[in-house]
Structure 1
Amino acid sequence: MIQDKQLGSGHALLMAESEIDEPTLVVYGDQLIDKQIIRDVATHHDSASATLGLVQQSDVTKYGGVLRTDDGYVTEIIEKPHDDRNYHLNAGVYVFEPKIVDAIRTTDSQAGEHSLVDGLATLIEEGATVQSVVSDGVWVDATYPWDLLEIADDLFESRNEVESQIAPSASVHDDATIIEPVVVEPDCVIGPGAVVGPNVCLGENVTVEANAAVRHSVIDADTRIGTNATLIDCVTGRGVHVGPASTVVGGPGDVEVGNRVHRNEQLGAVLADRVHDEGGVTYAPGTIVGADAIIHAGSTVDGTIENDIEVRA
């Protein structure tokens, strides 16, 4: 299911209504969520209308705060609370019974958007049982692309969640250089003279061609990085093609997201799914390129490029 128009988290769930005919696991997509949280929520759910995963967090003022009874029943959910009550943080992991769909649909929209949390509040107001479980699994906010770089750094540094590793099915040329820590997923190919690391995550089936360099980057699956290309502080989506001799010079840079400019973020560039770069392209710090964009050879790219746009030199 695809939410063609971004009309809120509740609206996203309504798009999948036809599939919600039994208890359904729902997870937010803009956070790093440990499998332990998912396991705790799934195993804790029984006869309630909904079960929420919660984590302990000293400051919930930027997120969703949840009040619960001593035996785990949710009494109130407050977005960005600023009072001194004893909140747990809503981890964005739920199991819902089908009645959540009607609750979302009957809840008044706010500014044209349907909120999943407002639908939950409606369930509570109607007297439905909404329970919660507090998990000690890892939860990290990943709202913005550069958060992925910071998360990877933290996980590499702690070594509690991510160990430097190269999958057995990955092919690393004898003349390539790996600078740990790195994670290289199955079926990756790293060519002669290539330099990968430190603090690099390569998803499945990524190709780093001869003499390319990748440092402090998160590269998603099926991406190809061309000969002599350089990627620093880079985040890519799936199926990206970076042409030969293209350069992501690295941050810090100013990043424009919506109507807000984030100053001096450590971000070289974000290349969304299926961006195709023909080679010899230079990306200024803080560049964001939308999905399916085509960047013609020799271009210099700066700022935010929308989806499906062609950029010519």
Structure 2
Amino acid sequence: MTIDTAVILAAGEGTRLRPLTTHRPKPMLPAGDIPILEHVLNSLVEAGISEIHLVVGYQRARVQNHFGSTYRNRPITYHIQHTQLGSGHALLQADETIETDFLVLNGDQIVTEEMIETVSSSHTATDTATLGVVESEKASQYGAVELNDNRITEFIEQPADDEYRLLNAGVYVFGPSIFAALERTFQEQGRLSLPETIRDLTTDESAVRGVVTESPWQDATYPWDLLSVMQTLFDQDRIGDETTEQSPGVFSDQTATIHEDATLRPPVIVSADTVVGPQAVLGPGVAVGENTTIGAGAVLTNVLVDSDTRVGQNATLIDTVLGQGVHLGPGVIIAGGPADIRIDTKVHEDCDLGGVIADRATVGGGVTVASGSLVGSAATIQSNAHIDGNIPNEAEVLR
């Protein structure tokens, strides 16, 4: 079936990605050189979608200001979820504007146009819903499904064990009748995730199709996942569309200034209006956002740097994520993972993360950052301090 309309769910906060989501929604976090959501939109356009609906909520101005009313000549209609009551409730916000079968995608997952096309073309007029499914050892961390003759027979959201291998990829096709089903579930429960309604449809013996695809799929659930997403996009050659490949695997914008004595080791991308100083070493695995300065002699390996950030001279950063407007003084050291990291009440072991420095944080010269540390938004770390663990937003750490 040909599908022309898509709804993207982009209203959530992404609490497990704090402190990076303090001032922006998860879909607007960087995936290489552009936000995650922009990759989703690019895949939709390449798959032939002509009408885009975006459900926004938390920090919605960040989405609307970035994309405006059109994207690559496709009109965008915005729907506001004023209170975050689940993904199914988010989809309900688009109810009165959708009259034909349509795609639904999560705005915080990297999917390919091939997956979108496969799911769309597999959907038939007799299907109540069609889901994209991928095989993954991480199925127990998300939503797992069981299939029988291409039909979803069971839907298990965040199962307790690792016996499941088929993962709900968050790419759906529905008919307009899904809205009535969502409304029924919401009235019964008061909150509503989309998988809950799909599970109800499978128990009602509705025609819910599962389509197993081998297309790459990537999700960012925790801060360190952003580095994995970046690497996946490098591997797929999906980074650097607006830049020039200066040498194999090395991309830079024409407005970037890269000193002739700097070294760029692929894969690397340097975005617009960025300056890279002499003897700086970038890569492998480095994406630098717009209007950023990398000081002389700085060494970055497996690092994601967002826009408007300053990295001081002779800094050493490994396995690191830097937010927007971060200022690192000279000689800062973030030595890399692995590390055990606490997110809310859970400790995640052996994570490949040196550290996260969130938006507008300032880290003075000579600071050392223990592996796995998370520095909150607008925090201030005085020169020569040592930090270890989670630093709250707007906190000040003295030497």
TM-score range (shorter-chain normalised) is: 0.7 to 0.9
* Aligned partner of residue 107 in structure 1, secondary structure: helix
State whether structure 2 residue 166 is matched by structure 1 residue 55. Answer: no
Who is 1:192 aligned against? Answer: 278
Letter in 2 for 1:276: A
Letter in 1 for 2:133: L
* Aligned partner of residue 285 in structure 1, secondary structure: coil
Letter in 1 for 2:151: Y
- The partner residue of 1:14 within 89, 92, 97 is 89
Preserved contact between residue 275 and residue 289 of structure 1 (Cα < 8 Å): no
Question: Quick one: structure 1 residues 67 and 253, their matched pair in 2 at CA, closer, same or farther if it must change by over 3 Å?
Answer: closer
Who is 1:165 aligned against? Answer: 250
Partner Cα distance (2:13, 2:139) in 1? 30
Preserved contact between residue 379 and residue 391 of structure 2 (Cα < 8 Å): no
Preserved contact between residue 226 and residue 244 of structure 1 (Cα < 8 Å): yes
Deviation at 1:138, TM superposition (A): 0.9
Who is 2:106 aligned against? Answer: 27
State whether structure 2 residue 320 is matched by structure 1 residue 234. Answer: yes
Deviation at 1:214, TM superposition (A): 1.4
Extract unaligned runs of 5+ from structure 1.
Answer: none
Letter in 1 for 2:364: G
Partner Cα distance (1:109, 1:223) in 2? 46
Partner Cα distance (1:113, 1:269) in 2? 35
- The partner residue of 2:329 within 215, 232, 244 is 244
Partner Cα distance (1:110, 1:213) in 2? 55
Who is 1:279 aligned against? Answer: 364
Aligned residues: 303
Q: Deviations over 1:13-40 (max 9, x none)?
A: 42464334322422262x5433422332
Preserved contact between residue 89 and residue 193 of structure 2 (Cα < 8 Å): no
Q: Deviations over 1:243-278 (max 9, x none)?
A: 222332322332111212223433110123x23215
Question: Quick one: structure 1 residues 114 and 139, their matched pair in 2 at CA, closer, same or farther if it must change by over 3 Å?
Answer: same
Deviation at 1:302, TM superposition (A): 2.3
Question: Quick one: structure 1 residues 51 and 263, their matched pair in 2 at CA, closer, same or farther if it must change by over 3 Å?
Answer: same
Question: Quick one: structure 1 residues 114 and 128, their matched pair in 2 at CA, closer, same or farther if it must change by over 3 Å?
Answer: same
- The partner residue of 1:219 within 305, 308, 316 is 305
* Aligned partner of residue 36 in structure 1, secondary structure: helix
Who is 1:208 aligned against? Answer: 294
TM-score, normalised with respect to structure 1? 0.78
Who is 1:116 aligned against? Answer: 194
Deviation at 1:198, TM superposition (A): 2.0
Partner Cα distance (1:84, 1:231) in 2? 38
Letter in 1 for 2:266: E
Please report the RMSD computed on the Cα atoms of aligned residues, expressed in angstroms.
3.7
Question: Quick one: structure 1 residues 39 and 276, their matched pair in 2 at CA, closer, same or farther if it must change by over 3 Å?
Answer: farther
Question: Quick one: structure 1 residues 120 and 282, their matched pair in 2 at CA, closer, same or farther if it must change by over 3 Å?
Answer: same
Letter in 1 for 2:396: V
Deviation at 1:52, TM superposition (A): 1.1
State whether structure 2 residue 216 is matched by structure 1 residue 130. Answer: no
Partner Cα distance (1:12, 1:133) in 2? 21
* Aligned partner of residue 262 in structure 1, secondary structure: strand
Deviation at 1:289, TM superposition (A): 2.5
Question: Quick one: structure 1 residues 277 and 123, their matched pair in 2 at CA, closer, same or farther if it must change by over 3 Å?
Answer: same
Q: Deviations over 1:205-228 (max 9, x none)?
A: 443233322112122344332344
Partner Cα distance (2:112, 2:308) in 1? 24
Preserved contact between residue 193 and residue 210 of structure 1 (Cα < 8 Å): yes
Who is 2:25 aligned against? Answer: none
Letter in 1 for 2:327: V
* Aligned partner of residue 38 in structure 1, secondary structure: helix
- The partner residue of 1:38 within 104, 116, 122 is 116
Letter in 2 for 1:120: I
Deviation at 1:97, TM superposition (A): 4.3
State whether structure 2 residue 278 is matched by structure 1 residue 183. Answer: no
Partner Cα distance (2:296, 2:174) in 1? 49
Overall identity of the aligned pairs, in %: 35
Partner Cα distance (1:83, 1:92) in 2? 19
* Aligned partner of residue 227 in structure 2, secondary structure: helix
Q: Deviations over 1:186-216 (max 9, x none)?
A: 5543223322112222344443233322112
Partner Cα distance (2:369, 2:188) in 1? 38
Deviation at 1:282, TM superposition (A): 3.2
Letter in 2 for 1:241: V
Who is 1:65 aligned against? Answer: 144
Partner Cα distance (1:112, 1:18) in 2? 15
Who is 1:74 aligned against? Answer: 152
TM-score, normalised with respect to structure 2? 0.63
